[in-house]
Structure 1
Amino acid sequence: MQAAVERTTAGSVAEMGATEALVRFASGLRYEDIPEAARHAARRHCLDTVGAILAGSRQRATRIVEQTLLELGTKGTAAVAGLVPRFGPLSAAYIGGTAAHGLELDDGYRPGSVHPGAVVIPALFAAASTGRYDGKQWMTATVVGYEAVCRLAAAMHPASRYKGFHNTPVAGVMGAALAIGSLLDLDEERMAHALGLAASSAGGIFAFLKGGGEVKRTHPGHAAREGVQCAFAAKNGLTGPSGVLEIAEGFFETFSSDVDASVVTAGLLDGDLVMSRCYIKPHAACRHLHPGIDAVLDILATEKIKADKVERIEVGSYEIAAGHGQAKYDDMLSAQMSYPFALATALERRAVNLDHFDAAARADKAVLRHVPKVRVFADAECEAAYPKQRPAKVAVHMRDGSVHERRVDEPYGGAANPVNDDALTAKFHSLADPVLGVLRAEEAERMLWNLDDVTNIQNMIDRLVGVE
């Protein structure tokens, strides 16, 4: 990223504060500066997130949000993938973010325990209705947004999570504001104000994990909407606090008790971008459950065991993952957050797919008989490795006394064990085909793999809308 580095010296980069470095990166990044690995990651994650939005456009929370905003009179010209009505950009961002995150299909970044795509991509979709932007501008803004979300979340995690905050909306609004700022070509001064404004819209708590409800689905929508508004407000002259990340009572101090600000700046202006290290989900469940799911599926495949011969399953993992050890499955979100239900599903169905969490699946006695067999606990060794790894130790105890053990440090879909392009394309079609139809989904896939060549992003978005 030579063009970005030329704006400063190597020594001053090391001394630069997190706010200044992030703002300089966001305002200075150009398509030509982006390494090919990050460009390819941008194509992959746009494809993956669009698939998640299309599938999520039909889920309950999205439909409720859509109905609510239409009742409030928010029609406009901005499209949401999978839906027919048009909305104002802010409402489109909110609905799109809710859809993207609504089925636990969206991408993430392990060191920050955060889902960047569900915020950044819907925000960019919504903002595209306000002007003419090409694929190179879109990809540049995508990289800006992902880098900001991932780095900010990683700098604060896991202390932010232990304080009860959901990193996705907390860091997401900051990344969305910078992504839209990049699309609008804001200078450093106005980009800094966009970030400063966004900090006052950051929020989102983990109460849903204990109290249930559907509000988690909407967290990225809130962040996407506020990010769009903050960027446009900064463009028009509204100001925010300077140095908002580091100052007293600022972003870092508010949301985390243990911050490593060097995570934000490390390699940022030198082309060492973290976007290519984001994961893509192969299973339709909370990412904290994926190491255990992978372990059980591997034992089933290699040991040729039968589900009804399993006596119990013990899972040792890091503390946050162990917090998902509740056996709740009253609603779809609770089931997708439940380690016992997910492993019972894997054991009985030998897969963990989206339709395995619907009402019929949650009432399936063949699956439910395994739920009491699963015990999840915090393991000291796994806790010490997190968040540099996402480990789980799984022991499947058989009725005949034999035990099958696995340790998974990096679940399938992560940078060290990635979903390849063919598997990602197959995932996209499994989500997009039922909404768009096979032919339109194939057209969308071609455009998304060739984002660099799109001359008008709005034309691409128009091809993703639902049908009457």
Structure 2
Amino acid sequence: MAAVPVTAEIARRAAVLAWNDLPEDLVERTKQCLLDWFAVTVPGAQEELTDILIREALEDGAKGQASLVGRTEKVLPSTATLINGAASHALDYDDVNFSMGGHPTVTVVPALLALGEQIQASGRLFIESFVAGYETSGRVGRLVSPSHYQKGFHVTGTVGSFSATAAAGRMLGLSDKQLAVAFGIAATQAAGLKSNFGTMCKPLHAGTASEHGLRAARLAAKGFTARGDSLECDQGFASSQSDHLNTDAALGEPPQGWHLRNNLFKYHAACYLTHAPIECAKEIRLKSNFPPERVRKILLRIDAGADKVCNIPNPTTGLEAKFSLRQTVAMALNGVDTAALDSYSDAVTQEPRMKALRDKVSIEFKPNWEHSLAEMAIQLDDGTTIEASHDSGIPWADVKKQRNAIETKFESLVSPVLGAAGTRRLADAIERIDSMSDVGELARASAKS
């Protein structure tokens, strides 16, 4: 494997990124990512896995001054990073970027929120650091794609360690050489297995990636040593965890000039690879209006990569339902609101009408397809066949329309926890972040009073 100095170049780009480099739309897109992140983290903070992590932290003496989103407890900054990161991925309702191959914002914001509150960072520094981390996620993701994910690594936990490091390093003002060393510290911690999808460990990956990134940046700032070529060196991140070192892809121009412009938001509370099939099922149901009992068989065509991500054939829990193509298709055909959190319950997996439709689904996993594309053909009892296709990998062109959709999601998910006044306070803080002198205000606005 050729030793191209890709670590140094990715570190340099993150370290030198400044406010004046950012087009106006990137500030708006950052605010939309924050709206979406808080939208999923506030309710995620009420989940059992978050309770367990908080209980473990407090038993370990980790009380501190850092705010926890959607909670009243305060803990150490590193602990807050872990817990907020896990909470933000708990519902599997957070944003996606296909260049990274995972979930970028859940690894970047937790580290910045805890660190920013601790050092009283300005809102502009927060945004600069967010974009530096986000762009790093796309570059490192492209570097090791596609074999890294195919081998069974959860990119959010692995690549996400580098994006969190870049974000925290930018906020701390690390030089490019210091940040390259920080990447080495992160590389030796990066981990996360796809085999744990459908369990509490999947959201834990986001939290540990963010915590590892914060730790790596802080240690590098203090002189802790590591290799400065960890991405490309022999027995480094790429050679040990993938069959690829796609330097040209990593350092090349992203579509539309910035990886952030290709962010994809979720409007169904399930694995993103179920979204195109859900949209196909919704389209067929709405345009044909047949009762589910009339369905004879359902054929779904989708990229072969989904087989090892979201193909739990007979889910028994609400969490497993989020990773079941058959279950989510059955829910959509039955008119279940796949955007609602409470739709994904243990009980819904046992409903006879869901099981009946699940049993009628056959899946053709197509090699080398667009992994965001799905095609569906439903045959009814009279022989009629209805077809639909959908590609969920196309970013919305209308940023204002996207903002409206995210605000609706934010309101519906945050207000049951923080109440109307708390929801307005948090939304206002997000909108004002670029004029804040201390982002601790944002962190505190997200806590439960």
TM-score by length of 2: 0.94
Counterpart mapping for 1:339-354 below 5 A: 339-352=325-338, 353-354=340-341
The answer to whether the Cα contact below 8 Å between 2:319 and 2:345 also exists between their aligned partners in 1 is no
**Which residue of the partner structure matches residue 284 of structure 1?**
269
Counterparts of 1:109 and 1:155, CA distance in 2: 14
Structure 2 residue identity aligned to 1:458: G
The answer to whether the Cα contact below 8 Å between 1:19 and 1:243 also exists between their aligned partners in 2 is yes
How big is the shift at 1:349?
A: 2.3
The answer to whether the Cα contact below 8 Å between 2:8 and 2:228 also exists between their aligned partners in 1 is no
**Which residue of the partner structure matches residue 386 of structure 2?**
404
Q: Which moved more, 1:351-360 or 1:427-436?
A: 351-360
Counterparts of 1:406 and 1:459, CA distance in 2: 47
**Which residue of the partner structure matches residue 414 of structure 1?**
395
Q: Work out whether 1:164 is the aligned partner of 2:145.
A: no
**Which residue of the partner structure matches residue 295 of structure 2?**
310
Percent same amino acid at aligned positions? 26
2:110 to 122, 129, 141: 122
**Which residue of the partner structure matches residue 12 of structure 1?**
none
CA displacement, residues 145-196 of structure 1 (integer Å, 9 cap, x when unaligned): 1111122113322211111100101000111011001111111221111111
**Which residue of the partner structure matches residue 394 of structure 1?**
376
**Which residue of the partner structure matches residue 456 of structure 1?**
438
How big is the shift at 1:415?
A: 4.3
How big is the shift at 1:359?
A: 2.8
Q: Work out whether 1:338 is the aligned partner of 2:324.
A: yes
How big is the shift at 1:444?
A: 1.1
Q: 1:271 to 1:193 in 2, by over 3 A?
A: farther
**Which residue of the partner structure matches residue 92 of structure 1?**
80
How big is the shift at 1:63?
A: 1.1
Q: Work out whether 1:58 is the aligned partner of 2:43.
A: no
**Which residue of the partner structure matches residue 208 of structure 1?**
196
- Secondary structure of the structure 2 residue equivalent to 1:385: coil
The answer to whether the Cα contact below 8 Å between 1:169 and 1:222 also exists between their aligned partners in 2 is yes
Counterpart mapping for 1:58-457 below 5 A: 58-209=46-197, 213-267=199-253, 272-323=257-308, 324-352=310-338, 353-379=340-366, 383-386=367-370, 390-410=372-392, 414-415=395-396, 420-457=402-439
- Secondary structure of the structure 2 residue equivalent to 1:241: coil
The answer to whether the Cα contact below 8 Å between 1:410 and 1:417 also exists between their aligned partners in 2 is no
Structure 1 residue identity aligned to 2:241: F
RMSD after superposition: 2.0
Q: 1:155 to 1:355 in 2, by over 3 A?
A: same
Counterparts of 1:349 and 1:362, CA distance in 2: 15
Where does the alignment leave 5 or more consecutive residues of structure 1 unmatched?
Answer: 1-14
The answer to whether the Cα contact below 8 Å between 1:300 and 1:350 also exists between their aligned partners in 2 is no
- Secondary structure of the structure 1 residue equivalent to 2:334: helix
Counterparts of 1:132 and 1:112, CA distance in 2: 30
Structure 2 residue identity aligned to 1:249: Q
Q: 1:297 to 1:119 in 2, by over 3 A?
A: same
Counting matched residue pairs gives: 444
The answer to whether the Cα contact below 8 Å between 1:169 and 1:203 also exists between their aligned partners in 2 is yes
Counterparts of 1:366 and 1:297, CA distance in 2: 16
The answer to whether the Cα contact below 8 Å between 2:330 and 2:357 also exists between their aligned partners in 1 is yes
Q: 1:271 to 1:326 in 2, by over 3 A?
A: closer
Counterparts of 1:417 and 1:302, CA distance in 2: 25
The answer to whether the Cα contact below 8 Å between 1:355 and 1:361 also exists between their aligned partners in 2 is no
Structure 1 residue identity aligned to 2:91: L
CA displacement, residues 232-280 of structure 1 (integer Å, 9 cap, x when unaligned): 0111111210211111111111221123122221137x99211111100
Q: 1:16 to 1:272 in 2, by over 3 A?
A: farther
Counterparts of 2:257 and 2:8, CA distance in 1: 18
How big is the shift at 1:105?
A: 0.7
Counterparts of 2:328 and 2:57, CA distance in 1: 33
Q: 1:235 to 1:23 in 2, by over 3 A?
A: same
How big is the shift at 1:81?
A: 0.7
- Secondary structure of the structure 2 residue equivalent to 1:375: strand
Counterparts of 2:40 and 2:150, CA distance in 1: 28
Counterparts of 1:149 and 1:328, CA distance in 2: 33
Q: 1:330 to 1:166 in 2, by over 3 A?
A: same
